[in-house]
Homo-oligomer: A and B are copies of this chain.
Amino acid sequence: MTPFEYQPHTLVMSKEGLADLWNRFSRERAVTETLAAPLTPEDCNIQSSPEVSPTKWHLSHTSWFFEHFVLKPYLPGYREFHPQFSYLFNSYYETVGAFSPKSTRGLLSRPALSEVMEYRKHVTDSVQKLLGEPNPKALEAAPIILLGINHEQQHQELLLMDIKHVFASHPFRPTYLATEAETVTTTKGPEFSWKTFPAELYEIGHEGQGFHFDNEGPRHPVYVGEYALKSGLVTNSEFLKFMNDGGYEKPELWLSDGWNEVKLRAWKAPLYWEETQSGWKSMTLSGLHPIVEAAPVCHVSYYEADAFARWAGKRLPTEMEWEVAAETTRRDGNFLESGKLNPVPLSGPKANFDHLHQMWGDVWEWTASSYSAYPGFRPNAGSLGEYNGKFMCNQMVLRGGACVTPLSHIRASYRNFYSPSARWQFSGLRLAEDR
C-alpha cells in the first residue's frame, strides 16, 4: 500500500494516463517559471523577512522535491544535480536530513539564478524520462508526482506572496505586474444578504478518488447547528468603517494575543496599507494604488478578522460551516489564471447578491477553526508525513483560495493554515452568525 489513497492506477496504466500526468506536470513547471520571468537575478535572491523565501529558493525547492521524493527512489540511474542542494533546498523535512536554516535563505548567492534554471531543466527532463512509457516505477511514482504538482502550485502562490513582500519592503515600491491600476470606485460595493443553513449532522472532508492532501481526510460526520453566512466578503469600505470607529484602539474588540500584537507591531491598518496625503493606498503586485473600496479587504491577520467580526456583532464561520456551504456552490472566481493578482469588487446585477458569492478566489477566508487533525487522520507515509501533520498547532484554518491561487489547486475540502498573526498571505474574511 502506498501513502496516497487517491491512487491514480488507471491513469498510469495507460500511455494516455502517463501523457496526461506529464502534461499537467510540465504545464505547472512552466507556470512557475513564467511567474519568475519578470524578476532580475537580484530580485530572486531577496528574503525580506524570516518567513519569506526568495524566488530562487522556490524555484529550487520545488525541483528538490521531485528530485528527492520521485527521481532518486524511482528513476533508475538518476544523477543528483548537486550534492549540496539537498542541504540548501530541503525546506523542513527533518527525517530527510540536515537543512539550512529558513532565515538564511536570502544569503544563498550561489547557485546563481541561471544555474537554478538548469537544475529545473535537469529535473523536468528526468521526470519526462520516468514518465516516458508505462513501467512499474512510474506506477509507483505517479501519486507522488501528483503530490509534487500540487506542491509546485502551492509554491506558485508563495512566490507571489513573497515577491509582493519583497517589493513592498523596497523604498522604490517596484512593480511586478505592469497593468493599469483598477479605476478607483467610491462605490461601497453591493449590499449582501445572508444565506441560512439548517442544523444537521453533515459530513465534511474529502471524498472520492481525486487528489487531496492528507489533512483533508478522512471524511467524517460533524454536527453543525443552524447558521447563516454573509453572501459576500467584507470589503475595504466596511473595514475602513471599523478603522474609523477606532477599531485598532479598542481592546474589548480583540483577543488578548491579538491586542498584544496590535500594540507591539503598532498595527493601524491591514498589511501593505499606507496613509498618504491623498488617502489610504496599498501596495499591490502592480505597485502602490489607492484602496478600492468595493473590493474585499485583504492582508488581515486572524486577529484583525476576529476583531472586525466582533465589532460587527457577528463572528467568523467555522471551517465546517464554510465547507458545508461551499459544497452548494460552483468553484469559480478570481484566481491566479485571471492574471489580476489582486482581489476585485463583485460586479453584476444587484438581485444576485442574495446568493453566496466570492466563496472561491479573491482572498482566503479566515475561519474560527484552529488547524487540527480530523478524526482518524493518517499522515502520508515516510518523510512526506511531515508535509502537513506537524503543523497542527497554533494555526488557524483558511478556506477558498485567493487571487494568487491556481484554480485547479483548490477544493471545498482544501485546508490552508497560517499563524493567527500572519498577514502576508492574501487573507480576508466573511461574516457568519448563529440562527
- Contact assessment for B258 and A42 in the assembled complex, using a CB-CB cutoff below 8 Å: no
**A420 closest partner in B (C-beta):** B393
Q: Judge whether A136 is part of the interface by a CB distance below 8 angstroms.
A: no
Given A223-B222, A223-B223, residue A390 in contact with residue B254 (CB < 8 A): yes
- Contact assessment for A109 and B166 in the assembled complex, using a CB-CB cutoff below 8 Å: yes
0/1 string, A61-92, CB within 8 A of B gives 1? 00000000000000000000000100110001
- Contact assessment for B390 and A110 in the assembled complex, using a CB-CB cutoff below 8 Å: no
Q: Which of B88, B166, B252, B258 contacts A393 (CB 8 A)?
A: B258
B residues in contact with A315, CB < 8 Å: 373
Which of A94, A108, A258, A393 has its CB near the most chain B CB atoms (within 10 A)? A393
B residues in contact with A170, CB < 8 Å: 107-110
Q: Judge whether A113 is part of the interface by a CB distance below 8 angstroms.
A: yes
Q: Which of B94, B113, B166, B302 contacts A107 (CB 8 A)?
A: B166
- Contact assessment for B370 and A370 in the assembled complex, using a CB-CB cutoff below 8 Å: yes
Q: Judge whether A243 is part of the interface by a CB distance below 8 angstroms.
A: no
B residues in contact with A252, CB < 8 Å: 94-95, 385-386
Question: Complex: how many Å from CA A42 to CA B60?
Answer: 15
Q: Which of B106, B254, B420 contacts A106 (CB 8 A)?
A: B106
Question: Complex: how many Å from CA A270 to CA B46?
Answer: 30
Q: Judge whether A215 is part of the interface by a CB distance below 8 angstroms.
A: no
User: Number of residues in A with C-beta < 8 Å to the partner?
Assistant: 64
Q: Which of B84, B222, B225, B258 contacts A172 (CB 8 A)?
A: B84
B residues in contact with A210, CB < 8 Å: none
- Contact assessment for A256 and B390 in the assembled complex, using a CB-CB cutoff below 8 Å: yes
Measured CB to CB, the closest approach of chain B to A315, in angstroms, equals 8
Question: Complex: how many Å from CA A170 to CA B306?
Answer: 36
- Contact assessment for A171 and B386 in the assembled complex, using a CB-CB cutoff below 8 Å: no
Q: Can you name 27 A-B residue pairings with CB atoms under 8 Å?
A: A42-B45, A46-B106, A46-B107, A46-B109, A87-B171, A88-B171, A92-B256, A94-B252, A94-B259, A95-B251, A95-B252, A109-B166, A201-B223, A220-B225, A221-B223, A225-B375, A225-B376, A252-B385, A256-B390, A257-B393, A257-B394, A302-B393, A303-B393, A370-B370, A370-B372, A375-B434, A394-B420
| Residues of A near any B CB (own CB < 8 A) | 40-46, 48, 56, 84, 87-88, 92, 94-95, 100, 104, 106-110, 112-113, 166, 169-172, 174, 201, 220-223, 225, 251-252, 254-259, 302-303, 306, 315, 368-370, 372-373, 375-376, 385-386, 390-394, 420, 434
Other CB < 8 Å A-B pairs besides A222-B223, A302-B393, 13 of them? A40-B41, A45-B46, A94-B259, A95-B251, A106-B106, A107-B166, A108-B170, A109-B166, A201-B223, A221-B225, A256-B390, A370-B372, A370-B393
